[in-house]
Structure 1
Amino acid sequence: MTQQGVRWTAEQVLALAPDSASRKAGSKLGAAGPWSGTGRSEEGVVWGLCAGSGGTPYRTVVDVPHPAAAASGPAYRCSCPSRKFPCKHALGLLLLWSAEGEGSAPAGRAPDWAEQWIADRRRTREKREAGPADSGSGPADPEGARRRAERRAERITAGATELEERLADLLRSGLATAEQSGYGLWEETAARMVDAQAPGLASRVRELGAIPASGPGWPVRLLEECALLHLLDQGWLHRERLPAALAATVRTRVGLPSAPEGPRLRDHWLVVAQYDTQDPKLTTRRIWLHGAASGRTALLLSYGAAGRSPELTLPVGLALDAELSAHPGSGQQRASLVEQFAPPMPTDARPAGLTTSEATARYGEALRHDPWQDSVPLTLTDVVPTPDGDSWQLADADGDTALPLTPAASRAGLWRLVALSGGAPVRVFGECGHRGFTPLTAWPTGPGEPVRLC
């Protein structure tokens, strides 16, 4: 299949799946057997009828955006009752097109049911693009926005002050009381932070609640996290005394939204990782990019409602000629995609790498700018995955240092990494933090495509 001029692999298509069950079910529908009436349009729309358990086949249509439409992912429509997005039929149709090429979806006129959906999407897109000019709502009210921001800041300050009191109560009564009180104490405190419109504080408070049940040594871990939370509270309460970049980081960490403010940086951005995290209400997609010329690493975020795949999709191994704009904050990698100048294209480029000792030093340096970050993105070069008791580590091929893999490392990804290495050095991109290294993508020492590990 071609999205923005690039033929996708089956792995890239299955990366759109909302969960492992959808990937498995979609793979079974990636053959011609259950499909009929497939076709494609010049605008990048593919459609087909998929036989199901009933007598009426499911109508499935996928719209792959034009290269000028930035890096947004495909849009889907299917008549099946599934609440997952994309459903297994949409994944199967994309896999069929990807594997068989144009012959499996001949060019032609879309059937009425697909044409109606295409027309509705076209009207919605045109209305959205024309919205700011035609709305007639007049200019935004900057004074109203300023007052709303001040009211929210006052609520966050009240919440941070209350949280300081609760942390002080915990220390006075002893850490053992956290185990006796159970998770309810922390959930109630987190709810208070939500009321204060400080979702970042609420998230960190909820993490405290899980520590007493995390195994031996939990009092030390709880004290460390309480200290970081206290530091964030104090940073907010005294933010006017902080350097501008660090104050911006504090605002981001307590949960205030940020808009890109940095100068535009054009580069050929290599897509080095893409993975999703989910909670009951939201799916968050993280896409890591590495600038070929600048050497910068940038993070793009995209969100989707629970059960729906986020819109932004950039398969690993492509390079994107684009401009990014950084979000404010000291040591922050987050950026927004401003403008794309060409379709993403496959590339043999790889990010430069570090030794394991250089990686730990890089993380330590990053903590000076943002003490609350759990990890930093970086690439290890010439490392070998080796067992370390019941766990694994990445050891320097030409040295005597190693980084342990975190418990968050995917077991399936670990075995792919071990198979790719076969005892030989590999290059690995991932996230390095105080718990160890989480591998996300790997490249063999010689020629070869990147292998996703997440």
Structure 2
Amino acid sequence: MTQQGVRWTADQVLALAPDASSRKAGSRLGGAGPWSRTGSSGEGAVWGLCKGSGSKPYQTVIDVADAAGPAYKCSCPSRKFPCKHALGLLLLWAGPGGAAGPESPTDAVPDGAPPPDWARQWLDSRRARAETRRSPGAAQERTAADPEAARKRAERRAERVTAGATELERRLADLLRGGLATAERAGYGLWEETAARMVDAQAPGLAARVRELGAIPSSGSGWPARLLEECALLHLLASGWLRRDRLPAPLAATVRSRVGLPAPARGAPVRDVWQVLAQYDTADSKLTTRRVWVYGERSGRTALLLSYGAAGRAPALSLPVGLAVDAELIPYAADPAAAGLRAELGEQFTAPAPATGRPPGLPPAAATARYGEALRDDPWVDAWPTTLARVIPVPARASASSPGPGSGSGAEWQLADADGDSALPISPSAASRSGLWRLVALSGGTPLTVFGECGHQGFTPLAAWADGTTETVRL
């Protein structure tokens, strides 16, 4: 990115912060005051010394051209990644207006300087390890295995998953026989114990869905209906595994993937210029999951990159929204029907740069039909990537007792077709976010292109583009 004279915007930098306190602390360090000996190289490195409370300044270096997203190194004792010093340095590098190009360079972090020794050593060691991982010898060593032993391991695991699915079916039948009210009385312990049994059965997909059931009882009005719906999906998945030999091959592959079995083979790498459409985190008591949606400009393919971090720590993968990168993505299965949306970021050929386009969209009616096709192929799909073209946000009507963006039900917020009579309801979880008012302000009554996730509760907007522009607005 620096070799092209292009720098990120402040919003793209702050999107990397692991939490709100880091975002606030990093913003305070985004001025030139505490910094000295800053610089950036054509290889995608940014460095500087930040004055702290001690006698020695903190040494901060960032590799913004790393294939898996920015990588950070700081001599401060913080356990957050990126720390406030890395965020402050990136903000200083981004400059006042952000996206500072060759016509408006910033003097705070000059380009073209060679990195100091302490920064160069870290950068060289990182890139040497990356080359080692990409070498043919390393790949051959990783894949060399006894095929017969692998087959036996797969058979043993399938037997354990079958035992777990059989037990799960019995427990679901007991729950329905006793009535859903028993789930409220039993508390979360019932679900945690069942999830532990699914982990023992080496079925992490079943375990994750069981844990989600535990959060539904007493979760608000209508929870019995939501619990019944999720129990039905879990029953469908367990019975699908037990009858997988009778299913069409693509659906059987989907069942194996949803249960948690690895794909038998990865697909061929797909090289493209991938636009970063959205990035957000979800967290529970044990894990933070980062979802990154990307769109291939040439292939027209939308892919999902997942990254994980222990509770309280940001996942490693971080690709700022609004950038595009020439890179390879590796599908999670060789069969496109089984690969779904999941992919892994492979080799990166250029540094990220601001995207110059946006994905093509569909009117709400066509998008709903596309979502229905996705459910036909995968009944357990949680969120389907959808780009809506020429839609206008229609806010909910606030009542006197509950004004504001979260007022009313989620269905009252809609994205209406500017050229037709169809509309897509916005999900209740998204309707409570202030980002919807930002969407209204961006529109001003004119059509927008909006990217988001389509689910059974409605549409969740994640990014938008004003008519006639290519600047991605994160929601």
Q: Shift of residue 138 of structure 1?
A: 9.9
Residues 127, 326 of structure 1: alpha-carbon distance in 2 compared, 3 angstrom cutoff: closer
Q: Separation in 2 of the partners of 1:406 and 1:267?
A: 32
Residues 181, 226 of structure 1: alpha-carbon distance in 2 compared, 3 angstrom cutoff: same
Residues 122, 241 of structure 1: alpha-carbon distance in 2 compared, 3 angstrom cutoff: same
Query: Does the aligned pair in 2 maintain the 1:156–1:196 contact within 8 Å?
Result: yes
Say which is worse superposed, 22-31 or 396-405, in terms of deviation: 396-405
Q: Which AA in structure 2 matches 1:433?
A: G
Per-residue CA deviation, residues 119-168 of structure 1 (Å, 9 max, x unaligned), is 54355445545694599899322222222222222211111111111011
Aligned counterpart in structure 2 of residue 73 of structure 1, from 56, 65, 69: 69
Query: Does the aligned pair in 1 maintain the 2:391–2:417 contact within 8 Å?
Result: yes
Aligned counterpart in structure 2 of residue 357 of structure 1, from 359, 362, 365: 365
Q: Separation in 2 of the partners of 1:96 and 1:373?
A: 41
Q: Which AA in structure 2 matches 1:406?
A: S
Q: Separation in 1 of the partners of 2:441 and 2:143?
A: 60
Query: Does the aligned pair in 1 maintain the 2:3–2:43 contact within 8 Å?
Result: no
Q: Separation in 2 of the partners of 1:43 and 1:291?
A: 24
Q: Shift of residue 423 of structure 1?
A: 2.1
Aligned counterpart in structure 2 of residue 290 of structure 1, from 292, 295, 311: 295
Q: Separation in 2 of the partners of 1:312 and 1:237?
A: 36
The percentage of counterpart residues that share the same residue type is 70
Matched, 1:159 2:164: yes
Aligned counterpart in structure 2 of residue 105 of structure 1, from 109, 113, 120: 109
Q: Which AA in structure 2 matches 1:81?
A: P
> TM-score scaled to structure 2, two decimals?
0.86
Partner of 1:37: 37
Partner of 2:386: 378
Q: Separation in 1 of the partners of 2:32 and 2:113?
A: 18
Q: Separation in 1 of the partners of 2:454 and 2:278?
A: 14
Per-residue CA deviation, residues 422-445 of structure 1 (Å, 9 max, x unaligned), is 222211000111111100110111
Per-residue CA deviation, residues 244-265 of structure 1 (Å, 9 max, x unaligned), is 2111111111112336644554
Partner of 2:404: none
Q: Shift of residue 413 of structure 1?
A: 2.0
Q: Which AA in structure 2 matches 1:58?
A: Y
Q: Which AA in structure 2 matches 1:397?
A: A
Matched, 1:148 2:144: no
Partner of 1:401: 422
Per-residue CA deviation, residues 11-61 of structure 1 (Å, 9 max, x unaligned), is 122222112221121111111011122234454332222122333322212
Q: Separation in 2 of the partners of 1:201 and 1:52?
A: 48
Residues 255, 177 of structure 1: alpha-carbon distance in 2 compared, 3 angstrom cutoff: same
Per-residue CA deviation, residues 152-197 of structure 1 (Å, 9 max, x unaligned), is 2221111111111101111111222112212211111111111111
Partner of 2:100: none
Q: Shift of residue 359 of structure 1?
A: 2.0
Query: Does the aligned pair in 2 maintain the 1:85–1:307 contact within 8 Å?
Result: no
Q: Separation in 2 of the partners of 1:77 and 1:301?
A: 23
Query: Does the aligned pair in 1 maintain the 2:133–2:139 contact within 8 Å?
Result: no
Report matched runs for 1:299-378 at 5 Å: 299-328=304-333, 329-330=337-338, 332-378=340-386
Q: Which AA in structure 2 matches 1:206?
A: R
Q: Separation in 2 of the partners of 1:113 and 1:95?
A: 21
Number of residue pairs aligned between Structure 1 and Structure 2: 449
Q: Separation in 1 of the partners of 2:315 and 2:351?
A: 19
> TM-score scaled to structure 1, two decimals?
0.89
Q: Which AA in structure 1 matches 2:12?
A: Q
Q: Separation in 1 of the partners of 2:72 and 2:275?
A: 27
Listed as ranges, the gaps of 5+ residues in structure 1 are none
Partner of 1:25: 25
Counterpart secondary structure, 1:277: strand
Aligned counterpart in structure 2 of residue 414 of structure 1, from 433, 436, 441: 436
Partner of 1:444: 466
Q: Shift of residue 377 of structure 1?
A: 0.7
Query: Does the aligned pair in 1 maintain the 2:280–2:292 contact within 8 Å?
Result: yes
Matched, 1:86 2:90: no
Query: Does the aligned pair in 2 maintain the 1:331–1:366 contact within 8 Å?
Result: no
Q: Separation in 2 of the partners of 1:112 and 1:165?
A: 63
Query: Does the aligned pair in 2 maintain the 1:5–1:343 contact within 8 Å?
Result: no
Residues 73, 6 of structure 1: alpha-carbon distance in 2 compared, 3 angstrom cutoff: farther
Q: Separation in 2 of the partners of 1:439 and 1:286?
A: 14
Q: Shift of residue 118 of structure 1?
A: 3.5
RMSD across aligned C-alpha pairs, in angstroms? 2.8
Query: Does the aligned pair in 1 maintain the 2:426–2:458 contact within 8 Å?
Result: yes
Counterpart secondary structure, 2:379: coil
Counterpart secondary structure, 1:77: strand
Q: Which AA in structure 1 matches 2:46?
A: V
Q: Which AA in structure 2 matches 1:85?
A: F
Counterpart secondary structure, 1:443: strand
Listed as ranges, the gaps of 5+ residues in structure 2 are 97-104, 398-407
Q: Separation in 2 of the partners of 1:379 and 1:135?
A: 40
Q: Shift of residue 214 of structure 1?
A: 2.2
Q: Separation in 2 of the partners of 1:113 and 1:212?
A: 54
Counterpart secondary structure, 1:380: strand
Q: Shift of residue 284 of structure 1?
A: 2.7
Residues 347, 41 of structure 1: alpha-carbon distance in 2 compared, 3 angstrom cutoff: closer
Q: Separation in 1 of the partners of 2:391 and 2:380?
A: 28
Counterpart secondary structure, 1:193: helix
Q: Separation in 2 of the partners of 1:216 and 1:181?
A: 19
Counterpart secondary structure, 1:53: coil
Query: Does the aligned pair in 2 maintain the 1:4–1:344 contact within 8 Å?
Result: no
Q: Which AA in structure 1 matches 2:24?
A: K
Counterpart secondary structure, 2:321: coil
Q: Shift of residue 221 of structure 1?
A: 1.8
Query: Does the aligned pair in 2 maintain the 1:274–1:287 contact within 8 Å?
Result: yes
Counterpart secondary structure, 1:213: coil
Matched, 1:172 2:177: yes
Aligned counterpart in structure 2 of residue 431 of structure 1, from 453, 465, 475: 453
Query: Does the aligned pair in 2 maintain the 1:2–1:8 contact within 8 Å?
Result: no
